[in-house]
Structure 1
């Protein structure tokens, strides 16, 4: 582990482009490598370990993208559409934005930070995690819980 840790970290980092994620995935890969040693066929150890680490990184990246895709459509439906043409639409849009701000103020503070950062400021999970000094899993959990909170507390007819 000591000999190949740095090498595997760089391989994982080249896929993820995030130090924290690369560190986490490298650790997961090292555990997987250790658990898989009985199946190793003694042909190209470094290549075998790199393949495991890179596959872990790709899986992690895909999981992040899936989670982002699952969460994004619901909140985007709440945001006003672009291309406003009439005065009535502008007034309605202004009222809707004001109502959205009011609703955002009602969201518990620990969820509001990640909701605003992700949906309004359009930051990635990685950027949010780095700014808030938390793990990626914490950001994912907060967004998931915020989405659940929104479903329970915001009435659909208010956005229709």
Structure 2
């Protein structure tokens, strides 16, 4: 696609479109908005290809998609009447369950991703695994982790930093998708 022109764009969309959609959906939590923003992100990517530095294509694509989604979310927050109207239309269309939960297929995708992440976490050294799980999975603060592990909060912060560094050296982002 980088030098294939418009004809190479369709296979590119087929290969990376689902990843971009999942990325955008994770930020927006709305199918319709995610589809719209995905289209805009794909156009932005296509227009930005001459500036691509051939360094981490999927990371570059993800960054553009996330930025587009964040921009859209900011836009929606500035126009709350449209956001409220959209929520009513989505519920009327049956896009959410009674309790306002995401559709079952989205829950299944998230569950599968969490399972893959947990499997990969087992490969981490024990001291890193403990703080990463507590911080990212259990969503605990540095202070809570320090209290449970007997470490100082600064030590928890250091371990998280080293764990992230270890993961960057040993894992690829694609391993978690």
TM superposition score normalised by structure 1: 0.47
Larger radius of gyration: 1
